[in-house]
C-alpha cells in the first residue's frame, strides 16, 4: 500500500510522493532554548522521530533539519535577568536538549542549525521581500511583512479573510488567529535587548522568530522540500508566516506536506513552560520510567489525538514494553545463545499488517495491535513447542522491524560486541563464498572462546 499522510494544507489524507524519488527532505521546528524542554515538546519530537523511522523503514533516504531558536524575546529576557551572555545561556539548554534526545533514543537530526549562526541568510531574505514589495520598513528601523500583498495568506490555518485587518501590525512573535496582522521580520534594537543585536541595512536589531525557520530551511533543504512538521501551536502564526515569507521571497513553492502533532495535556491543559505544568525527561526517568516505557507512553497515542499524560501511564507502558522484550528473549533463547538472523520479517503475516497500519498516516494503534496479536499466538506456539526454528528466526526479524520504529527493546550484552561483529563478518564472507576468510574468522572466534555453528536458521554462537 502506498503511504498516506494527513496534510494540514488540504485537511485530508494524501498519498505521499517525494519530490526526488527515494529521498525525503524533512524540516521540523526545534526548541526555543531558554529553558529545559518538557515532555510536551518531546511528544512532538518523538512523533517526528516516528515519522523519520517509518520513512527509513520504507527505504527512503532522509535529510532531517531541526532548528534551534537561540534568540527571541524569551531568551533575551532570561539572559538579561540572569546577567549572563545569551550564548552561554542557550549553550546550556542546547546541551541538555541533546542529552534528553539521547535518553529518549531519538535519532539525531542531520543538522541542528542555530538561528544566531544564520543571521546573514535572514537579512538576505528580508532584503528580497522588501525589493519585491512584500515588506516595508517602519520609522524605528523595524521591518514588517504586509499580509495584504500575499493573496494566499491564511490558507494553511484556514482563516476567515473577512476578518483580516492588514493595516494593523504586531510586534510579538506569537499572536492569535482571530486577528491576523502584519508581522515582524526584523525588530529594531531596544534598551531591553541589552547586548543582543546585529547590524543590518535597516540598523541594529534582530530577526523575528518566523524568518529564522524560512531562512534556515531554504538554506539546508532548498526552496522547495517535502515535509515540514511541528506541534499544532506552530500552525498559526508561525507556519502561516513561514509560507508567506518563503513563497514571496523565492517566488517558488515551499513545502508539499505539513504534518502537525496534537498537544500533550496535563490535567486537561496544554503542557507549557508558561503555565508551569510540566515534567522533564530527567525527572520522569528518576521517578521510575525507563527510556523505553517513556518512549512507549509518548508514542502509543496517534499523533493527531491529544495525549493526556498521567504518571499512571508508567505501569501500562512498562507492561507493554515488557511483553515485547519477553517474547524477544524467549525467541532468542529458543533459537540459541546468539543467532545472526537470516530470517525475514516479511514471512511473518503480522509484519504486513504492521506496515499497512503505519502506511495509513502512522496508525500506531493498528500497528501495535498486529504486534500484540502475534505475540499472543507465538507465546502459545512456544509453550507447546510447536514453533519451527525458521519461524522463530523470522519472528526475531519481525521484532527487529518493530523495534526499528519503536526502539523499545534492550539487547543482551552478554556476548561482546567484538564477537558479534566477527560473526557478522563471517556470515558476509560465506555469502561471498569466501571460504578461506570464513574459516579464518571461525578459528579466530575459537581462539577467543566461541564456537560457531551454521544452521538453516542462521549462524549460532556458543561459548566453549
Binding residues (CB under 6 A) for ligand AMP: these are 29, 31-32, 40-41, 43-44, 69, 230-231, 233-234, 263-264, 270-272
Least Å from the CB of residue 229 to Zn ion: 10
CB-nearer residue toward Zn ion: 213 or 399? 213
Least Å from the CB of residue 295 to ligand AMP: 15
What is the DSSP pairing of strand 4-7 with strand 12-15? antiparallel
Which does residue 31 bind out of ligand AMP, Zn ion, none, counting CB within 5 to 8 angstroms by kind?
ligand AMP
Give residue 131's Cα distance to chain centre. 36
Match 518566523 to its residue by C-alpha cell.
Answer: 210
Which does residue 214 bind out of ligand AMP, Zn ion, none, counting CB within 5 to 8 angstroms by kind?
none
28 within 8 A of 66, measured Cβ to Cβ: yes
Which does residue 316 bind out of ligand AMP, Zn ion, none, counting CB within 5 to 8 angstroms by kind?
none
Least Å from the CB of residue 305 to ligand AMP: 12
CB-nearer residue toward ligand AMP: 75 or 246? 75
Least Å from the CB of residue 328 to ligand AMP: 30
The interface with Zn ion within residues 198-237 (CB under 5 A) comprises 213
Total residues interacting with Zn ion, rule: CB under 5 A: 2
Phi, psi of 422 (to 5 degrees): -60, -40
Least Å from the CB of residue 262 to ligand AMP: 7
Binding mask 1-30 for Zn ion (x = CB under 5 A): ----------------------------x-
Which does residue 40 bind out of ligand AMP, Zn ion, none, counting CB within 5 to 8 angstroms by kind?
ligand AMP
Which does residue 121 bind out of Zn ion, ligand AMP, none, counting CB within 5 to 8 angstroms by kind?
none
d(C-alpha 315, C-alpha 246), whole Å: 46
Which does residue 213 bind out of Zn ion, ligand AMP, none, counting CB within 5 to 8 angstroms by kind?
Zn ion
Least Å from the CB of residue 42 to ligand AMP: 8
What is the DSSP pairing of strand 4-7 with strand 269-270? unpaired
Least Å from the CB of residue 304 to ligand AMP: 12
Phi, psi of 248 (to 5 degrees): -75, -30
Which does residue 154 bind out of ligand AMP, Zn ion, none, counting CB within 5 to 8 angstroms by kind?
none
398 within 8 A of 385, measured Cβ to Cβ: no
Give residue 186's Cα distance to chain centre. 29
The C-alpha angle with vertex 108 and arms to 106 and 109, in degrees rounded to 5, equals 130
- Residue 244 in the binding site for Zn ion (CB under 5 A): no
CB-nearer residue toward Zn ion: 217 or 290? 217
Could you tell me where the DSSP H helices lie in 336-388? 349-359, 364-383
CB-nearer residue toward Zn ion: 216 or 457? 216
- Nearest to ligand AMP by Cβ — which residue? 231
Least Å from the CB of residue 314 to ligand AMP: 19
210 within 8 A of 218, measured Cβ to Cβ: no
- The distance in angstroms from the start CA to the end CA of the chain is 47
Match 530527567 to its residue by C-alpha cell.
Answer: 282
CB-nearer residue toward ligand AMP: 209 or 354? 209
CB-nearer residue toward ligand AMP: 97 or 254? 97
Closest CA to 90 of 111, 104, 101, 76: 76
Backbone torsion region of residue 46, taken as left when φ is above 0, otherwise alpha when ψ lies between -120 and 50, otherwise beta? alpha
Least Å from the CB of residue 265 to ligand AMP: 7
Q: Which residues pair with 18 in a beta bridge?
A: none
224 within 8 A of 253, measured Cβ to Cβ: yes
Neighbours of 92 (CB within 10 A): 15
The interface with Zn ion within residues 29-88 (CB under 5 A) comprises 29
Which does residue 395 bind out of Zn ion, ligand AMP, none, counting CB within 5 to 8 angstroms by kind?
none
Radius of gyration of the chain (CA): 26
CB-nearer residue toward ligand AMP: 93 or 189? 93
Least Å from the CB of residue 264 to ligand AMP: 4
Give residue 213's Cα distance to chain centre. 16
Which does residue 231 bind out of Zn ion, ligand AMP, none, counting CB within 5 to 8 angstroms by kind?
ligand AMP
Could you tell me where the DSSP H helices lie in 336-449? 349-359, 364-383, 389-406, 417-431, 435-447
d(C-alpha 240, C-alpha 108), whole Å: 26
d(C-alpha 148, C-alpha 128), whole Å: 17
CB-nearer residue toward Zn ion: 29 or 457? 29
Match 499522510 to its residue by C-alpha cell.
Answer: 5
CB-nearer residue toward Zn ion: 174 or 316? 174
Residues that bind Zn ion (CB under 5 A): 29, 213
Amino acid at each position: 500500500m502506498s503511504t498516506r499522510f494527513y496534510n494540514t494544507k488540504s485537511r485530508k489524507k494524501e498519498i505521499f510522493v517525494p519530490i526526488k524519488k527515494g529521498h525525503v527532505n524533512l524540516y521540523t521546528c526545534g526548541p526555543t532554548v531558554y529553558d529545559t524542554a518538557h515532555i510536551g515538546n518531546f511528544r512532538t519530537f518523538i512523533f517526528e522521530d516516528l515519522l523519520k523511522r517509518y520513512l527509513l523503514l520504507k527505504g527512503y533516504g532522509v535529510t532531517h533539519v531541526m532548528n534551534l531558536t537561540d534568540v527571541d524575546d524569551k531568551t533575551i529576557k532570561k539572559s538579561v535577568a540572569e546577567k549572563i551572555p545569551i550564548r552561554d545561556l542557550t549553550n546550556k539548554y542546547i546541551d541538555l536538549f541533546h542529552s534528553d534526545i539521547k535518553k529518549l533514543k531519538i535519532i539525531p537530526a542531520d543538522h541542528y542549525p542555530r538561528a544566531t549562526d544564520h543571521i546573514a541568510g535572514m537579512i538576505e531574505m528580508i532584503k528580497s521581500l522588501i525589493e519585491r514589495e512584500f515588506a516595508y520598513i517602519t520609522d524605528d528601523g523595524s521591518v514588517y511583512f504586509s499580509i495584504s500583498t500575499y493573496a494566499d495568506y491564511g490558507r494553511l490555518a484556514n482563516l476567515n479573510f473577512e476578518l483580516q485587518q492588514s493595516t494593523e501590525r504586531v510586534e510579538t512573535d506569537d499572536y492569535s488567529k482571530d486577528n491576523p496582522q502584519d508581522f515582524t521580520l526584523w525588530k529594531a534594537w531596544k534598551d531591553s535587548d541589552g547586548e543582543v543585536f546585529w547590524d543590518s541595512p535597516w540598523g541594529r536589531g534582530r530577526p523575528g522568530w518566523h524568518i529564522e525557520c524560512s531562512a534556515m530551511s531554504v538554506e539546508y533543504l532548498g526552496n522547495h522540500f517535502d515535509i515540514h512538521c511541528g506541534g499544532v501551536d506552530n500552525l498559526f502564526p508561525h507556519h502561516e508566516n513561514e509560507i508567506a515569507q518563503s513563497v514571496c521571497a523565492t517566488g517558488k513553492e515551499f513545502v508539499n506536506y505539513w504534518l502537525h502533532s496534537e498537544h500533550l495535556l496535563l490535567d486537561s491543559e496544554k503542557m507549557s513552560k508558561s503555565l508551569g505544568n510540566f515534567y522533564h525527561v530527567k525527572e520522569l526517568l528518576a521517578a521510575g520510567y525507563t527510556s523505553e516505557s517513556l518512549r512507549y507512553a509518548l508514542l502509543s497515542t496517534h499523533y493527531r489525538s491529544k495525549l493526556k499524560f498521567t504518571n499512571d501511564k508508567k505501569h501500562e507502558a512498562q507492561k507493554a514494553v515488557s511483553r515485547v522484550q519477553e517474547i524477544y528473549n524467549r525467541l532468542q533463547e529458543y533459537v540459541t545463545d546468539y543467532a545472526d538472523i537470516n530470517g525475514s520479517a516479511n514471512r511473518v503475516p503480522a509484519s504486513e499488517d504492521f506496515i499497512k497500519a503505519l502506511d495509513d498516516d502512522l496508525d500506531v494503534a493498528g500497528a501495535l495491535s498486529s504486534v500484540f496479536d502475534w505475540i499472543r499466538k507465538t507465546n502459545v506456539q512456544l509453550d507447546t513447542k510447536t514453533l519451527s526454528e525458521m519461524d522463530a528466526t523470522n519472528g526475531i526479524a519481525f521484532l527487529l522491524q518493530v523495534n526499528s520504529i519503536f526502539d523499545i527493546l534492550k539487547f543482551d550484552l552478554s556476548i561482546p560486541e567484538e564477537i558479534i561483529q566477527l560473526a557478522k563478518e563471517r556470515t558476509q564472507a560465506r555469502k561471498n563464498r569466501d571460504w578461506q576468510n570464513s574459516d579464518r574468522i571461525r578459528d579466530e572466534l575459537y581462539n577467543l572462546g566461541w564456537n560457531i555453528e551454521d544452521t538453516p536458521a542462521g549462524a549460532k554462537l556458543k561459548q566453549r
